[in-house]
């Protein structure tokens, strides 16, 4: 993580290698940028006239100041149309600018204050509270520069790559600086948790076993002041977690049920339960996946990683809410003891499940975790899982899908998705879907069969059978947990879910 400070200093006199200036789409410089451009002898105006820079979202332009101001370079960062500006677009623009500055081999950068017309559009809070715009900018700076290089070796004599190490957020007034510092502080807490989640996603399967995930959760909990308990297979057997144990049966790695508790709300207040799928590697089991891209199945624990990261952020932010995190962790392997198509498992709920496809294992481990979550008498349950490839056909890499039993709960998640850019799109969950997972030989079957489409919805329909009388939402993150590079995320692990859940918990009704 880079170091970010806040200073009340004029953008013209602040000495830095690169000064980032956020600009909306416009035909010519306006407001504070117009004043700066006069010192730059019209360089910005010429770039706009020639359409080398138009202020489009994530567009950047680096200008050498030639000593006309204290900064060596001015970096224009587009935020799109002014009337459509929101915190997510500012977050993206900040990330795009940070990457461009690092590409230009800048070690120290600064961000100019937002033009007054832009800050008004974002609805800045009073100075005594945190400044949400500063949080968005700082999160973008942190997360765009994330790298996972744990397994790379350095050769002796190789030059150190030039990286952005320090950033300054410039405040327009001394009064504004206090709120900006709080915003930047919040950003570091959320960004650290997201980076931790990405790290967990990136570790290979020979490192990130269920036991490794449990140890990481324990270490985080100890540092953050959370309660943590790990349920091992013998206790799972006594409890009757036949679905979770069944999935892990083909692996030499023992399954784990990770329990995290944060008590920031009133004593006795019902918690929100977060459940995250923790399949640390998914071969598909006996129903083996095709070999191409199977290496990416180390990320099948992304839902569990996001829940662990979200609990870290919630504790760091000291949110006034009680939260329980439950992560069923297992490895799905085709070993000699692995479950077979046609096997019948008895879940913690007592319901029996006919396994028609061992590659539909995520819903099996979640079934026991959801039943266990009810023991905490939560006011709501939200589960995150890389559950189906079908969600990619539906939404691509741009949004997760949500189904559930409570419209208000789903609406809250959708609203948090819009605010954070971790978008959520609702799919229907009608009775017809639920009837399609009834088995002829057991209570349920884990897939509806080849004649029934709507794979993402069918996964949700299966999970609904294990949630009784509690508002519940299932978020399928298979399309957004891992993917191509984005302004604030690298190629690969996105850490999706941490920022979504933190915003949801901050505003949960």
Does residue 189 lie in a domain region? no
Dist CA 115 CA 23 (whole Å): 8
Dist CA 433 CA 221 (whole Å): 39
Instruction: Taking residues 461-469, report their average pLDDT.
Output: 96
> 207 and 173, same structural domain?
no
Q: Which residues pair with 396 in a beta bridge?
A: none
> 127 and 262, same structural domain?
no
Dist CA 435 CA 32 (whole Å): 62
Model confidence pLDDT, tens digit, residues 60-71: 999 999 999 999
> 397 and 494, same structural domain?
yes
Dist CA 275 CA 285 (whole Å): 23
Does residue 415 lie in a domain region? yes
Which of 122-131, 286-295, 313-322, 374-383 has the weakest average pLDDT?
122-131
Would you place residue 127 in the very low, low, confident or very high pLDDT band (cuts 50, 70, 90)?
A: very low
> 34 and 143, same structural domain?
yes
Dist CA 134 CA 124 (whole Å): 10
> 288 and 174, same structural domain?
no
Model confidence pLDDT, tens digit, residues 328-341: 999 999 999 999 99
Model confidence pLDDT, tens digit, residues 290-328: 999 999 999 999 999 999 999 999 999 999 999 999 999
> 234 and 168, same structural domain?
no
> 201 and 86, same structural domain?
no
b/e map 471-493, b = 16+ CB within 10 Å: bbbbbbbbbbbbbeebbbbbebb
Dist CA 196 CA 194 (whole Å): 5
DSSP calls for 343-379 = -EEE-TTS-EEE-S-TT--HHHHHHHHHHHHGGG--S
Q: Please answer whether residues 5 and 169 qualify as being in contact, where contact means their C-beta atoms are separated by less than 8 angstroms.
A: yes
> 238 and 125, same structural domain?
no
> 488 and 395, same structural domain?
yes
Q: Please answer whether residues 324 and 259 qualify as being in contact, where contact means their C-beta atoms are separated by less than 8 angstroms.
A: yes
Which of 119-128, 146-155, 230-239 has the weakest average pLDDT?
119-128
By annotation, the residues acting in catalysis are 289, 363
> 206 and 169, same structural domain?
no
Dist CA 107 CA 115 (whole Å): 25
Structural domain ending residue among the three candidates 113, 146, 180? 180
Prediction pTM value: 0.97
CB-side exposure of 81: number of CA atoms within 13 Å? 2
Q: Please answer whether residues 190 and 138 qualify as being in contact, where contact means their C-beta atoms are separated by less than 8 angstroms.
A: no
> 306 and 221, same structural domain?
yes
Q: Which residue has the higher pLDDT, 451 or 476?
A: 476
The domain tally of the chain equals 2
Which pLDDT does position 124 carry in this prediction?
57
Model confidence pLDDT, tens digit, residues 260-272: 999 999 999 999 9
Domain span at 305: 196-507
């Amino acid at each position: 993580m880079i170091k970010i400070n806040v200073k009340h200093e004029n953008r013209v006199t602040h000495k830095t290698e690169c000064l980032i200036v956020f600009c909306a789409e416009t035909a010519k410089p306006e407001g504070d940028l117009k004043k700066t451009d006069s010192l730059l002898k019209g360089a910005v105006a010429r770039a706009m006239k020639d359409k080398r820079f138009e202020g489009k979202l994530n567009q950047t332009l680096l200008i050498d100041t030639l000593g006309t101001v204290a900064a060596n370079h001015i970096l224009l960062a587009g935020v799109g149309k002014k009337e459509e500006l929101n915190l997510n677009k500012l977050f993206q623009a900040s990330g795009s600018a940070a990457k461009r500055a690092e590409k230009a081999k800048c070690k120290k950068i600064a961000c100019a204050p937002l033009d007054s017309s832009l800050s008004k559009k974002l609805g800045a809070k009073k100075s005594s509270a945190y400044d949400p715009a500063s949080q968005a900018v700082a999160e973008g700076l942190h997360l765009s520069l994330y790298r996972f290089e744990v397994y790379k070796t350095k050769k002796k004599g190789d030059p150190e790559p030039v990286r952005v190490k320090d950033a300054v957020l410039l405040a327009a007034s001394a009064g504004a600086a206090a709120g900006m510092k709080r915003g930047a502080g919040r950003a570091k807490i959320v960004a650290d948790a997201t980076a931790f989640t990405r790290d967990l996603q990136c570790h290979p399967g020979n490192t990130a076993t269920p036991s490794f995930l449990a140890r990481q959760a324990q270490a985080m909990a100890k540092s953050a002041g959370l309660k943590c308990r790990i349920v091992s297979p013998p206790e799972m057997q006594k409890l009757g977690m036949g679905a979770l144990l069944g999935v892990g049966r083909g692996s030499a790695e023992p399954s784990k049920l990770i329990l995290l508790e944060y008590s920031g709300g009133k004593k006795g207040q019902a918690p929100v339960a977060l459940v995250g799928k923790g399949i640390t590697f998914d071969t598909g089991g006996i129903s083996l996946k095709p070999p191409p891209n199977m290496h990416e199945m180390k990320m099948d624990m992304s839902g569990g990683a996001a829940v662990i990261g979200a609990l870290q952020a919630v504790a760091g932010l000291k949110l006034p809410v009680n939260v329980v995190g439950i992560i069923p962790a297992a490895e799905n392997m085709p070993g000699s003891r692995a479950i077979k198509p046609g096997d019948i498992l008895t879940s913690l709920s007592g319901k029996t499940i006919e396994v028609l496809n061992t590659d539909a294992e995520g819903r099996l481990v979640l079934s026991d975790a959801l039943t266990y979550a009810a023991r905490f008498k939560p006011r709501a349950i939200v589960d995150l899982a890389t559950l189906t490839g079908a969600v990619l056909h539906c939404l691509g890499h741009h949004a997760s899908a949500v189904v559930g039993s409570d419209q208000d709960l789903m609406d809250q998640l959708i609203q948090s998705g819009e605010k954070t850019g971790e978008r959520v799109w609702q799919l229907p969950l009608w009775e017809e879907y639920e009837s399609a997972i009834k088995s002829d030989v057991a209570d349920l079957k884990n897939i509806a069969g080849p004649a029934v489409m709507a794979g993402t919805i069918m996964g949700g329909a299966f999970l609904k059978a294990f949630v009784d009388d509690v508002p519940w939402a299932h978020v399928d993150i298979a399309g957004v947990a891992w993917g191509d590079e984005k302004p604030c995320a690298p190629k690969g692990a996105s850490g999706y879910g941490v920022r979504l859940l933190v915003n949801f918990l901050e505003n949960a009704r």
